[in-house]
Amino acid sequence: MRVRAGLSATVATAVVLGLTAAAAPALASGGVSAPAAVAADSRSEPDGVALRAAIDGLPDGDATAALVRVRGKKTSWHGSSGVRDLVSGREANPEGRFRAGSTTKVVTAAVVLQLAAEGRVDLGAPVQRYLPELFGANADAFRKPISVRQLLNHSSGLQPGRSLGKTFEELYANRFVTLTPQEVAVSSIAKGPAHDPGVKQEYLGINYTLLGLLIEKVTAHSYEQEATRRVLKRAGMRHSSFPGTDPRIHGPHNRGYQAVEEPGGGTRLVDVTEWNQRDRMAGGDMISTTADLERLTVALFRGRIVPKPQLEEMFTVPKGIEGATMSAGLTRFEAPDGRVVWLKTGGRHGYNSILAATRNLDTVLVYSVNSTDAKGQDMNPVAQRIVGAAIGDPRG
């Protein structure tokens, strides 16, 4: 589904208005590689030349806009590229809001760890203790209890829950339908476990759906209320929110698009900006900005959001699980120059994002890329170039 060729702004506008690529000038194909300037080294300050090269030339076939923030020990770099929307062709708003996708999980993990610090949640206790009504008649299928900690680090063994479609076309047709987190959770539990908890890590949103429901059960408040009060306000994230069933992005934003192959050949871009994300809730519902995600990263890593004893959970990968890289809300990544970076990516149709930092905050990277295949299996080439320019080529 990805368009891997270059796409000029003129051609992109024609495509989004319903013309196929075949009706526009021919597009040159070819692989995308990181600029030579991103060779791994031990620098801690942003390389503005490499970062600008990483995002120049948008919109193209891979993205319509990119917003980037990188900070080092002493200096920082902010940049943007692309367009606000393909119809008007206006420059991308560098302060634009976007669907932050699974970076929401960092917020959710922080709330759970706060509750653990308050003695209201035991990370080693079974989630069945907190949400017995969800397991109900299916409780016997879960021979081994799933701990809260195993939900946090994706080693629960749960299976995916119900969704509103398997293909983009099905999902797009249902984009204004409300699927509740409770429905998702019940459908997952009804399937029984895929494997015993603690055996392997498998990244699934269902883990954080249950954590969101756990937060609501323990606090007697909505997930959105607790996440806003405990994390967004503490971090100073004034432009972030949880829209629930509202499909719109309120405030300034850059529109998102999905590349769709036409039956007769060619590709068109479908505007996917408006979308009801209620089923994502604690796993991916947040709308944010790059500045707010940077504030979250800095406040969190400095111990301003989660007390330091519990914060260790976010920098601890479980032992005894082969190939484990995920902690509570974050993923451990070793950069080519040996730096250990803790990160979380996000992807909703039309939008890819990341928050990433070394633990000492010598390097912090945040971006939003308006990817034309944000849910694709391959890393977006623009995002790949940004990561390469900021912390080293992710391909190794």
DSSP string for 126-153: BHHHH-HHHHGGGGGG-SSPPBHHHHHT
Q: What is the reported pLDDT for 137?
A: 85
- Give yes or no for a contact between 295 and 236, defined as CB atoms under 8 angstroms apart: yes
Q: What is the reported pLDDT for 43?
A: 55
Stretches where the chain sits below pLDDT 70 are: 1-43, 395-396
**In whole angstroms, how far apart are CA 229 and each of 118, 294, 308, 329, 375?**
15, 18, 19, 19, 30
Mean pLDDT for the chain overall: 89
Q: What is the reported pLDDT for 395?
A: 60
Q: What is the reported pLDDT for 25?
A: 22
**In whole angstroms, how far apart are CA 357 and each of 78, 148, 227, 333?**
16, 25, 22, 10
For the beta sheet containing 331-334, the strands, ordered from the edge strand earlier in sequence to the opposite edge, are 76-82, 63-71, 364-371, 351-358, 340-348, 331-334
* Complete domains list, the chain, with CATH: 9-23+32-391 (3.40.710.10)
Q: What is the reported pLDDT for 393?
A: 72
Radius of gyration, alpha carbons of the chain: 21
pLDDT tens, residue by residue, 129-159: 999 999 988 988 999 999 999 999 999 999 9
Please return the burial class of 4, using the count of CB atoms within 10 Å of its CB with bins 0-12, 13-18 and 19+: middle
Q: How far apart are CA 119 and CA 378, in angstroms?
A: 41
For residue 313, what are its two tokens? 């959970």
